[in-house]
C-alpha cells in the first residue's frame, strides 16, 4: 500500500493497540523520525482515531425506556408454566408420578370388568357368586372382583369384595370384610395396599437386624 516497510506498519498497529515493547517503541520512533512517509501515515492514523473518538456521543431518545418496556412481551401463561417447570422439577416429577399412577389404577379398575377371585381350597363358584359351602372350612384371605360372596360354611381369613357384595348368610367369617364399590375407594384401597406392602417390606428387612 505504500513504500514503508511492513514492519513499521506493524509496530504502529501494536503501538496504537497499546501493546508494543519498549525496545520496539524506540525503533518505531526512530523510523518515524527518519521517514516522512511513515510519519505521515502515523499522523493520519492518530488523527483518524481522534476524529472517530470525537464523534459526539449520541443519547437514546428520552422515551426509550418507556417504549422498550411497553414492547416487552407480556408474560404469557405458557411462559409462566415453563418457568415454573424449570424451577420446580421435583414438583413436576411428583405430579407426573401421581397422574400416571392414578391413571393406571383407574384403568385397572374400569378395564378389569372380569369376574375374578382368589383360589382357595373348597371354594365353589355358582355363576358369579363365590360360595363357601356349608360344612366346609376355607383357610386364607379371599379377594373377589365383579362377583359376590356367600358364606354357608366357615371362612378363616379376610374378605375383600370389589364391585360386588357380601350376601349375609349363616356362615362364619373369622376375619375382616371389606366391600369396595366406588372408584375412589378402589384407589384408596390400592394406595393403602402399596403402603402396607412397603411397610411390611421394611419390617421384614428389619427383623434380621434386630435378631
Partner 1 sequence: MDALVNKRIKRVMKGDQDAFAEIVELYQHQLFQICYRMLGNRHEAEDIAQEAFTRAYVNIHTFDQNRKFSTWLYRIATNLCIDRIRKKKPDYHLDAEVRGTEGLNMYSKIANEEELPEEELMRMEVQERVQYEISRLPDKYRAAIVLKYIEELPLAEISEILDLPLGTVKTRIHRGREALRKQLSNL
Q: Which of 23, 59, 205, 207 binds partner 1 (CB under 8 A)?
A: 59
Q: Is 30 helix (H, G, I), strand (E, B) or coil?
A: helix
Q: Which of 3, 22, 23, 69 binds partner 1 (CB under 8 A)?
A: 69
Residue 16, interface with partner 1 (CB under 8 A)? Answer: yes
Residue 89, interface with partner 1 (CB under 8 A)? Answer: no
Task: Name the CA dihedral angle for 32, 37, 41, 42, rounded to a multiple of 10 degrees.
Answer: 10
Helix (H) or strand (E) run with residue 9 in it: helix 6-16
Residue 52, interface with partner 1 (CB under 8 A)? Answer: yes
CA distances from 137 to 104, 150, 178 (A): 36, 13, 20
Contacts with partner 1 in 22-41 (CB under 8 A)? 41
Residue 60, interface with partner 1 (CB under 8 A)? Answer: yes
Sign of the dihedral through C-alpha 31, 25, 54, 65: positive
For partner 1, which is the closer residue by CB, 63 or 211? 63
Helix (H) or strand (E) run with residue 87 in it: helix 77-87
- From 48-56, 140-148, 165-173, 198-206, give the range in contact with partner 1 by CB under 8 A: 48-56
Residue 6, interface with partner 1 (CB under 8 A)? Answer: no
Residue 25 C-alpha cell reads as 517503541
The binding site for partner 1 (CB under 8 A) comprises: 1, 13, 16-17, 41, 44-45, 47-49, 51-61, 64-65, 67-69, 71-73, 75, 80, 83, 86
Amino acid at each position: 500500500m505504500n513504500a514503508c516497510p511492513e514492519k513499521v506498519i506493524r509496530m504502529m498497529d501494536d503501538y496504537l493497540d497499546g501493546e508494543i515493547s519498549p525496545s520496539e517503541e524506540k525503533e518505531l520512533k526512530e523510523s518515524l523520525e527518519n521517514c516522512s512517509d511513515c510519519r505521515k501515515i502515523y499522523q493520519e492514523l492518530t488523527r483518524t482515531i481522534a476524529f472517530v473518538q470525537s464523534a459526539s456521543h449520541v443519547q437514546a431518545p428520552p422515551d426509550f425506556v418507556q417504549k422498550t418496556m411497553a414492547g416487552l412481551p407480556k408474560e404469557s401463561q405458557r411462559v409462566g408454566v415453563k418457568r415454573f417447570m424449570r424451577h420446580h422439577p421435583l414438583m413436576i416429577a411428583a405430579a407426573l408420578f401421581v397422574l400416571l399412577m392414578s391413571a393406571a389404577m383407574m384403568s385397572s379398575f374400569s378395564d378389569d370388568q372380569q369376574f375374578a377371585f382368589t383360589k382357595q381350597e373348597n371354594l365353589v363358584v355358582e355363576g358369579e357368586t363365590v360360595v363357601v359351602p356349608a360344612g366346609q372350612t376355607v383357610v386364607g384371605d379371599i379377594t373377589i372382583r365383579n362377583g359376590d360372596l356367600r358364606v354357608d360354611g366357615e371362612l378363616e381369613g379376610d374378605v375383600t369384595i370389589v364391585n360386588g357384595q357380601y350376601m349375609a348368610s349363616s356362615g362364619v367369617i373369622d376375619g375382616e370384610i371389606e366391600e369396595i364399590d366406588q372408584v375412589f375407594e378402589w384407589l384408596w384401597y390400592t394406595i393403602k395396599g402399596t403402603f402396607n406392602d412397603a411397610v411390611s417390606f421394611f419390617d421384614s428387612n428389619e427383623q434380621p437386624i434386630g435378631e
